[in-house]
């Protein structure tokens, strides 16, 4: 059952989703354009018995949410590009030690301080590869206020289920736009819970995974004593130099994502059944692409839209099928070309890939995308 429709901002929908998903710990540092999330959580958590802490910086913010998660709480932080850069070491630590958490990155123009109040989509590759080494990660990309709420709730479920950091990645426009939405009624969400050990404390091996590939996780202070380290570790959690043990750990960390791809990957397909050309876009660019596709269809151009709702794992298998049917793929993104590389990988020996890029602090427009669609149609007619 849904509550009455209301006019809601994207960042507020994120905070509402976190609270409804059971988040009871937030640590963060104010940064445009994500600050509204912190403001909402500061007011919402204390009455629920939760904790809000304004930290001295983003490095400390990540450390705090990892500690809270180890103690058994669902924890979240939010930031933008410069703060996201500072968080990378602890994101890698969370991935390697399998500490569930949610990190929200509301993208703005970079690099460096860039344009704090202007939208961009330049953190796509950083979200996947920002921390060093091979590591698993899940990145969700909403394109509306309603989806911000939905993806936030889902982020907590995935983080808890797979013991993995989940990143919610959306641009400033999605963060600040207000839309009329009807959210689920309070209490309607069923918060996901991590699997906790059923064995006695003396038998607990914190990184011994069963068939699901995800080890049960004991809360600190619950009587289970175990060791956590960012070093390569064995099933007991202690550092190891044993090559076989390290290989097993690495393979398991990646397998828990790959084996559960059907549960993780999400995308939207619009008018692709008979399309000659497809636009690949996410976030606010996908909103512009949807309008461009409609106008292209009105002109007789058989266009469609492929929108990843999950950026990582990338929906490569699904896009590969589209690339085998259409003649062209127009990649619309607000950066100098990041998602386009994944699209090129999927389209190898298939459709031609055409970048449609913008990185000046202004949102992608339907007209920009429509011009690319018209050019591809004109080129095919020649």
Asked whether 345 and 316 are in contact (CB, 8 A), the reply is yes
Nearest-angstrom CA–CA distance, 200 and 208: 14
Written as tens digits, the pLDDT of the chain (382 aa) is: 677 899 999 999 999 999 999 999 999 999 999 999 999 999 999 999 999 999 999 999 999 999 999 999 999 999 999 999 999 999 999 999 999 999 999 999 999 999 999 999 999 999 999 999 999 999 999 999 999 999 999 999 999 999 999 999 999 999 999 999 999 987 787 888 999 999 999 999 999 987 789 999 999 999 999 999 999 999 999 999 999 999 999 999 999 999 999 999 999 999 999 999 999 999 999 999 999 999 999 999 999 999 999 999 999 999 999 999 999 999 999 999 999 999 999 999 889 999 999 999 999 999 999 999 999 876 665 4
User: Number of H helices and number of E strands within the chain?
Assistant: 13, 15
- Tell me the two tokens of residue 39: 């403001």
- Pairing mode, if any, of strands 23-28 and 267-270? unpaired
The CATH number given to 268-381 is 3.40.50.920
Asked whether 135 and 97 are in contact (CB, 8 A), the reply is no
The confidence score (pLDDT) of residue 382 equals 44
For the chain, the structural domain boundaries read 6-181, 268-381
268-381 has the same fold as 6-181:
yes
Question: Exposed (0-12), middle (13-18) or buried (19+): which is 34, by Cβ within 10 Å?
Answer: buried
Say whether 373 sits in a helix, a strand or coil: helix
Question: Exposed (0-12), middle (13-18) or buried (19+): which is 358, by Cβ within 10 Å?
Answer: buried
Tokens 């849904």 label which residue? 2
Q: Which CATH superfamily is domain 6-181 in?
A: Thiamin diphosphate (ThDP)-binding fold, Pyr/PP domains (3.40.50.970)
**Torsion angle defined by CA atoms of residues 60, 64, 67 and 73, in that order, rounded to the nearest 10 degrees:** -160
Say whether 22 sits in a helix, a strand or coil: coil
In terms of pTM, does the model score above 0.85? Answer: yes
Question: Residue 330's closest CA among 292, 299, 273, 360?
Answer: 292
Other C-beta atoms closer than 10 Å to the C-beta of 220 total 14
The gap from C-alpha 140 to its chain's centroid, in whole angstroms, comes to: 3
- How many CA atoms within 13 Å lie on the side-chain side of 123? 32
């Amino acid at each position: 059952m849904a509550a009455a429709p209301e006019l809601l901002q994207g960042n507020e929908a994120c905070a509402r989703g976190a609270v409804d998903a059971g988040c009871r710990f937030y640590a963060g540092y104010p940064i445009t354009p994500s600050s509204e999330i912190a403001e909402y959580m500061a007011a919402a958590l204390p009455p629920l018995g939760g904790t809000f802490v304004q930290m001295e910086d983003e490095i400390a913010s990540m450390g705090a949410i990892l500690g809270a998660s180890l103690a058994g709480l669902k924890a979240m932080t939010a930031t933008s590009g410069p703060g996201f850069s500072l968080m990378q070491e602890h994101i890698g630590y969370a991935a390697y030690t399998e500490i569930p958490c949610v990190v929200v990155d509301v993208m703005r123009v970079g690099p460096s301080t860039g344009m704090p109040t202007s939208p961009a989509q330049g953190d796509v590759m950083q979200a996947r590869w920002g921390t060093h080494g091979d590591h698993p990660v899940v990145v969700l990309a909403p394109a509306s206020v309603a989806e911000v709420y939905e993806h936030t709730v889902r982020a907590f479920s995935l983080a808890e289920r797979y013991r993995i950091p989940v990143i919610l990645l959306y641009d400033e426009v999605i963060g600040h736009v207000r839309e009329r939405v009807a959210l689920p009624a309070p209490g309607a969400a069923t918060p996901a819970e991590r699997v906790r050990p059923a064995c006695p404390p003396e038998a607990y091996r914190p990184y011994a995974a069963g068939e699901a590939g995800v080890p049960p996780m004991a809360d600190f202070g619950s009587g289970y004593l175990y060791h956590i380290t960012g070093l390569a570790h064995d099933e007991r959690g202690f550092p190891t130099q044993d090559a076989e043990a390290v290989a097993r750990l690495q393979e398991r960390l990646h397998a828990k994502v790959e084996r559960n791809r059907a549960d993780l990957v999400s995308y939207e397909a619009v008018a692709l059944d008979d399309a000659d050309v497809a636009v690949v876009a996410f976030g606010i660019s996908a909103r512009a692409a949807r309008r461009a596709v409609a106008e292209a269809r009105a002109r007789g151009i058989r266009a469609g839209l492929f929108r990843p709702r999950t950026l990582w794992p990338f929906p490569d298998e699904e896009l590969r099928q589209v690339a085998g049917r259409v003649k062209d793929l127009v990649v619309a993104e607000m950066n100098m070309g990041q998602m386009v590389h994944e699209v090129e990988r999927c389209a190898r020996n298939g459709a031609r890939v055409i970048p449609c890029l913008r990185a000046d602090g202004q949102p992608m427009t339907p007209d920009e995308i429509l011009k690319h669609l018209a050019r591809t149609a004109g080129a095919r007619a020649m």
